[in-house]
Every structure is written in C-alpha cells, then in structure tokens.
Amino acid sequence: MPATSTVPGAVFDGADPPSNLEECLIPSKTEDQSLNYLAGKVESLNQQLAEVMRLRQREREQERCRRGDEQIQRERLHKEQLDHERKLNAQRLIEMAQLHDEALHQASRDHADSLAETVSQVTRKLEMERQALHAEDLLSVEAYRKLWTAEIGRRTKQEKQLAMVC
C-alpha cells in the first residue's frame, strides 16, 4: 500500500497506513514537542479539572453545611418560639390562677359578709323574741299573781261565807 508521504513525521492519510514502520514509530522533533506540549496541556487541564472538581465538592459540602446551619437555625428559632409561647402560656395560667384566687377570696368575703349579715339578723330576731318571751313571762307572772290573788280572794270570801253559815 502506498503511503502519502515518506518523510519522517509527515501526516498520513487515514485510509492508507504507512508502508514504512519506522515512519510511524519515530516522531519528528516538532511532533515530539507538540505531543509534549499537548501532554502538558492535558496534564494542566486534568489538574484544573481536578481542582474544579475539588472546588465544586467543597462548594457542595459548604452548601450542605450552610443548609444544615440554616436548618439548625430554623430549628433553634422554632424552639425559641415554642419556649416563648410556653412562657406566655405559663404566665397566662398564673394570671388566670391569681384572678381565680382573687375571685374565690372575694366570693368568700362576700359570702362571709352575707353570713355575718344573716347571723346578725337572726341574732336580732332571737334577741327580740327573747325580749318578747321575757315580757310574756313577766306578764304571765303578773297575770298569775293576779289570778292567784283573785283565787285567794275568792277562797277567803268563801271561807268567810262558810264561817258565817256555820
């Protein structure tokens, strides 16, 4: 098969393989420099790619950390809100308990005042009844004395009449 060129380092047509094996194996100085340059470029690009990959990985990790930090921050804020709400609820419960206690004390005072008034009224009624009974007793004693005196007078009169008759 004929080669397109027999000069070392020459470009061959892809359809026609080189006839001389030496032509394929020994690159020219220019090709060698080009290959070394390309190899250096490839190595540099590989290093850049590796660095970019490391940077992207670091960015992803930082993003995960940032998201984790944001999640932690949201959870902390949520916990603080819950704690604040619990404190408010506890304060409200304390205030309600105090109001309830005050209402009970007021009701107790009102009830005590009402009981005292009722006791006072009952005491006044009892005193009036006692005085009425005492007055009745005095009247009864007086009435009994009058009755007794009348009875004594009647008996004395009967005895006088009887003494006269006899």
Provide DSSP, 84-114.
HHHHHHHHHHHHHHHHHHHHHHHHHHHHHHH
The alpha carbon of residue 22 and the mean position of all alpha carbons in its chain are separated, in whole angstroms, by: 88
Give the pLDDT score at 27.
58
Is the Cβ–Cβ distance between 28 and 8 less than 8 Å?
A: yes
Task: Supply the pLDDT for residue 1.
Answer: 42
Query: With contact defined as beta carbons under 8 Å apart, do 10 and 4 qualify?
Result: yes
Q: What pLDDT does residue 59 have?
A: 95
Both structure tokens of 131: 């005085």
> Where along the chain do its domains lie?
21-141
Neighbours of 18 (CB within 10 A): 18
DSSP annotation of 11 reads -
**Percent over 90 (pLDDT), the chain:** 45
The reported pLDDT for the residue numbered 2 is: 45
Q: Dmax over Cα atoms in the chain, in whole Å?
A: 204
Residue segments in the chain with a per-residue pLDDT below the cut of 70: 1-27, 166
In the chain, what are the helix, strand and coil shares in percent, each to the nearest 5?
Answer: 85, 0, 15
Q: Are 50 and 58 in contact (CB under 8 A)?
A: no
pLDDT per position as a tens digit, 10-28: 555 555 555 555 555 555 7
User: Chain-wide mean pLDDT for the chain?
Assistant: 84
pTM (predicted TM-score)? 0.40
